[in-house]
Structure 1
């Protein structure tokens, strides 16, 4: 092998090693997955109305869905805020929700949340989503739980019976 061929081979090996050192972290993978799953499309304040609020990415919505027999459900705050978000949830709590649709308090989520599709993710990917959500800085934004339609003070979409 010539000196220039050795130099090229060495450069390729060095670049490959550098690329491996920059491998995606679990949180970066989770951020990517949350992005392509469009979690922010529902869980970002103002996004459902076409006007996302700066600083409120994944902090919960103000618009909900009318679910027959349940009331209005509003996409919750997914940030690390203890009082209004997932701050008290463990990564295992998030994984369980995505696998089973059941929250730590035992309530099953309802509405358009696609947990049945998310349940099909690989273990590393679902753990990456949980790691990313746990990494989010807290944003204080209270979102109501299921609310009777008559008591709801915002806009909502109507969902027909299944």
Structure 2
């Protein structure tokens, strides 16, 4: 067996092992990247992502947004996960995700239903991205006007 052939077999075995880990749901940074993309995390937590997902560089992902979500609960903003998650240990993140009861439009049920290894993968991916950006604006109580653009829920009745 040649060195090139051995190197190819080793590379192939490594790639297959990584793919199998991803397919089996073992916690990994790569699986976290995948889950962040398919579960909609970027849609709110990454400015401009929902309008042009293939144009937003990964280095800017999950830094929160100043677009508010306004409704009977007041106005909420998607938090900067790049600042939040590195401050937590993995066990703290799991506990936070399991008891999530955030105001709309956060899909709390998605965090409640995720497998533990998926939550671990998301945590590992976000932490691997490293801290970046600024904190999102503070949530506002009902009746207080936002100084940023907002998405209004429920939509006001047509005139």
TM-score, shorter chain, exceeding 0.5: yes
Take 1:53 and 1:17, find their aligned partners in 2: how far apart are those partners?
32
Match for residue 125 of structure 2? 132
Take 1:32 and 1:125, find their aligned partners in 2: how far apart are those partners?
10
Over aligned residue pairs, what C-alpha RMSD do you find? 3.3
Secondary structure of 1:119's aligned partner: helix
Report the CA distance between 1:49 and its aligned residue: 6.3
Uncovered stretches (5+) of structure 2, i.e. residues with no partner? 155-159
Take 2:129 and 2:14, find their aligned partners in 1: how far apart are those partners?
28
Q: 1:19 to 1:86 in 2, by over 3 A?
A: closer
Secondary structure of 1:157's aligned partner: strand
Spell out, residue by residue over 1:31-89, the C-alpha distance to the aligned partner (whole angstroms, 9 max, x if none).
Answer: 11111112111101233566976553110011111131x3210001011x3xxx43312
Greater CA drift, 26-35 or 85-94: 85-94
Report the CA distance between 1:119 and its aligned residue: 1.7
Counterparts of 1:23-62 in structure 2 under 5 Å?
23=19, 24=22, 26-47=28-49, 55-62=59-66
Q: Normalising by structure 1, what TM-score?
A: 0.70
Spell out, residue by residue over 1:100-130, the C-alpha distance to the aligned partner (whole angstroms, 9 max, x if none).
Answer: 20xxxxxx41111112123212221121112
Contact 1:48–1:61 (CA under 8 A) maintained in structure 2:
no
Uncovered stretches (5+) of structure 1, i.e. residues with no partner? 1-9, 102-107
Secondary structure of 1:73's aligned partner: strand
Matched residue pairs, number? 142
Q: Establish whether residue 100 from structure 1 lines up as the match of residue 99 from structure 2.
A: yes
Q: Normalising by structure 2, what TM-score?
A: 0.71
Q: Establish whether residue 144 from structure 1 lines up as the match of residue 146 from structure 2.
A: no
Report the CA distance between 1:98 and its aligned residue: 2.3
Higher-Rg structure is 1
Higher helix fraction (1 or 2): 2
Report the CA distance between 1:18 and its aligned residue: 4.1
Q: Establish whether residue 17 from structure 1 lines up as the match of residue 31 from structure 2.
A: no
